[in-house]
Amino acid sequence: MSWVEIRDKALIANLKALGMAKLDSNLGWLKKEFIVD
């Protein structure tokens, strides 16, 4: 495996992790909004 492939895999993994974290925080915010009512 070339270092470019490794770098691309790492970038994709980081983007996925960021996306999941953002999704989780958005879901948490939504839950809070609904539970407050």
Residue with tokens 């790492």: 10
Host domain of residue 10: 1-37
pLDDT tens per residue, range 1-36: 799 999 999 999 999 999 999 988 888 888 887 766
Distance (Å, rounded) from C-alpha 36 to C-alpha 21? 22
- Work out how many domains the chain is built from and give that number: 1
DSSP 8-state class, residue 30: H
C-alpha closest to that of 35 among 23, 21, 27: 27
